[in-house]
Amino acid sequence: MKLILLLLLLILLSGCSNVIGVKPNFPELPPVLTESCPDLLTIPENENRMSEFLKVVIMNYDQYYECKYKVEAINEWYIKQKEIYEEIK
């Protein structure tokens, strides 16, 4: 009887000691961060006014900085996710 209990206990304990290698998947980027940056605007060829030129320049600066912040957000997100992923491994 003691032998059966000892074998049963040994079987149960050996089942708990097995380590199953589960590798977590690296998370996907949020969809907002995967959108491409828009093309910069150009000045129409028939436009000679300085005000139109300045509008286009200002709009291009706005697009540039929006894209810049998006790229910085992607880099920050990636670095944090990689640190978390490495801690889990």
Task: Write the pLDDT tens digit of every residue in 2-60.
Answer: 777 776 666 666 655 555 666 667 777 778 777 888 888 888 888 778 888 899 999 99
User: Domain map of the chain by residue range?
Assistant: 27-88
Closest CA to 66 of 42, 43, 44, 33: 33
pLDDT at 72 over 70: yes
pLDDT average, residue stretch 75-84: 88
Alpha-carbon distance 79 to 18, whole Å? 32
DSSP 12: H
Cβ count near 20 (within 10 Å): 4
Alpha-carbon distance 6 to 27, whole Å? 45
CB under 8 Å to 77, separation ≥6 — which residues?
A: 29, 30, 33
